[in-house]
Amino acid sequence: MAPRFAANLSFLFTELPFLERFRAAAEHGFRAVEFAWEHYELDPAAVRTALQTANLTCALINTPKTNAGEAGCAAHPAKKQEFAQGLQRALEYCKALDCSKLHIMSGPRVAGADLAEQTAVMAENLAMATTLAAEANVVLTLEPICPAAMADYFLQHVDQALDLIARVGRPNLKYQFDVYHAQLTHGNLTETLRRTREVLGHVQVSQLPGRHEPVTADGEVNLDHLYRTLDELGYQGYIGAEYRPRQRTEDNLAWLTAV
């Protein structure tokens, strides 16, 4: 099956105001989108209108940043209430946008809290979150983020994510594989996909070095091989195009029709 790509509107078409990016994505061949945080500044109804007008599917959103601007707080011992509030807000957007996947962001390592404590806090938060998400028919995902992107992010390794998924033991908690983060943190991408196949919930791609357009012929990762591997493993979800365009997004989209 040919890969189905979702334009990550936090990275692509950024020359345009956020709500105009939906139209641009549709006009350039995408049938789905995903995004991080921009929508939280907007009325869900306005985002829904932009999505529906462009006839797009919303593949994934993130939980909100914290009040202090951190990338989530699922692993923060002192911010359980803020996590719960952010989760509720995110699930409201999922409902409004008919979005079935929500990326739970761990937030940073906390000074004075050891790894075991933060892991236990995150597992507790995830147990609560999976219950609420199940009621909304939403799958939660965990994405390890490499130190090169966020030096102090708590969830950095695939084994951390797999440990949390096993601890919580809920079918709607999955692993989110991002080529950029996985390659920079531990490499061995094909094996990572194979050993996470039972809990693989979402995929994001870019090409290295530089996190640019996902073009196999212009980088160190054989993306065609990874797409074949995903097909062999039975992955049927969208693949998020989360990359930094070298120029304007629309000036270099040949890769989208070449796959």
What is the pLDDT, as a whole number, of residue 257?
86
Residues in a beta bridge with 7 = 33, 241
Tell me the pLDDT of the chain averaged across its residues: 97
What is the Cα 93 distance to its own chain's centre?
Answer: 15
Burial class (CB in 10 A: 0-12, 13-18, 19+), 209: exposed
Active site residues: 143, 242
Q: Does residue 258 surpass a pLDDT of 90?
A: no
User: What CATH number does domain 5-258 carry, 3.30.160.100, 3.40.50.920, 3.20.20.150, 3.40.30.120?
Assistant: 3.20.20.150
What is the pLDDT, as a whole number, of residue 216?
85
Rounded to whole angstroms, how far apart are CA atoms 196 and 200?
A: 6
Element (H, E) at 191: helix 189-195
Token pair, residue 76, equals 């923060």
pTM: 0.97
Q: Is 102 helix (H, G, I), strand (E, B) or coil?
A: strand
pLDDT band at 217 (very low <50, low <70, confident <90, very high): confident
Average pLDDT over residues 37-54: 97
Average pLDDT over residues 199-213: 97
Cβ(8)–Cβ(33) under 8 Å?
yes
Residues in a beta bridge with 202 = 176
Rounded to whole angstroms, how far apart are CA atoms 141 and 250?
A: 29
Q: Is 29 helix (H, G, I), strand (E, B) or coil?
A: coil
What is the pLDDT, as a whole number, of residue 39?
96
What is the pLDDT, as a whole number, of residue 58?
98
Average pLDDT over residues 177-198: 97
Rounded to whole angstroms, how far apart are CA atoms 226 and 230?
A: 6
What is the pLDDT, as a whole number, of residue 154?
98
Would strands 173-178 and 57-62 be described as parallel, antiparallel, or unpaired? unpaired
Q: What ranges in 56-114 are assigned the alpha helix state H?
A: 80-97
DSSP letter at 198 equals G
Q: Residues with Cβ < 8 Å from 147, sequence gap 6 or more?
A: 153, 156, 185
Q: Which of 50-54, 121-125, 166-170, 212-216 has the lowest mean pLDDT?
A: 212-216
Upstream peptide bond of 64 is cis (omega within 30 degrees of 0): no
Cβ(47)–Cβ(39) under 8 Å?
yes
pLDDT band at 141 (very low <50, low <70, confident <90, very high): very high
Q: Is 47 helix (H, G, I), strand (E, B) or coil?
A: helix
Element (H, E) at 240: strand 239-241
What is the pLDDT, as a whole number, of residue 218?
80
Average pLDDT over residues 13-27: 98
Q: Residues with Cβ < 8 Å from 114, sequence gap 6 or more?
A: none
Q: Does residue 1 surpass a pLDDT of 80?
A: no
